[in-house]
Amino acid sequence: KPVRVISTASDPQGRQTVIDLLPEHERKLRLVPVGRLDFYSEGLLLLSNSGELIHRLTHPSWHVTKTYQVLISGPVESRHMDPMRKGMTLQEGDRLAPVKVTIGQKTKAGTWLEMELHQGINRQIRRMCRDMDLTILRLIRTRQGPISLGSLVPGRIKRLNEQELIALRSLVGLG
């Protein structure tokens, strides 16, 4: 999913949706997004027409890991990451499970973090970073369960191969 595209099948406000990115023959399959990425986030977004698979991949009880690369403006210190690693409570009162977070490459633009989430509260990464006074410049989902974004560029689609489908279905007890 590119930034500025809505993670839904249709939008009453007429904004571009992830379904609009599909070739016509794929649109006929009645695919829907498996979960969401917010308007300013990009990266891996699975689409499916299997209601049971979608339910299990998005339901918190299955604990499907999602991995993100997050570019933060400026330096990041352990005081920023420790609350995330231990589990924190957001300003709104939502209690979060611990997040695996590691510091990656430091660039002129800022510091890359890799974050692994199991919980998936709405806009969780953006809200955690807000509460830690960290400014997000870019947020990319790179993995969901066994499925990796790889080198797929924003706006492009890829059908999962048989092995990927088996791994994904097996992860949520459908294998």
Interval 144-156: pLDDT, tens: 999 999 999 999 9
Q: How many CB atoms lie within 10 A of CB 1?
A: 25
Q: Annotated catalytic, 82?
A: no
Q: What is the pLDDT of residue 107?
A: 93
Which residue of the set 11, 38, 94, 131 is catalytic? 38
Nearest to 84 by CA among 35, 124, 47: 124
Q: What is the pLDDT of residue 43?
A: 97
Q: For a pLDDT cut of 90, what percent of the chain falls above it?
A: 86
Q: How many CB atoms lie within 10 A of CB 165?
A: 18
In this prediction the pTM is 0.93
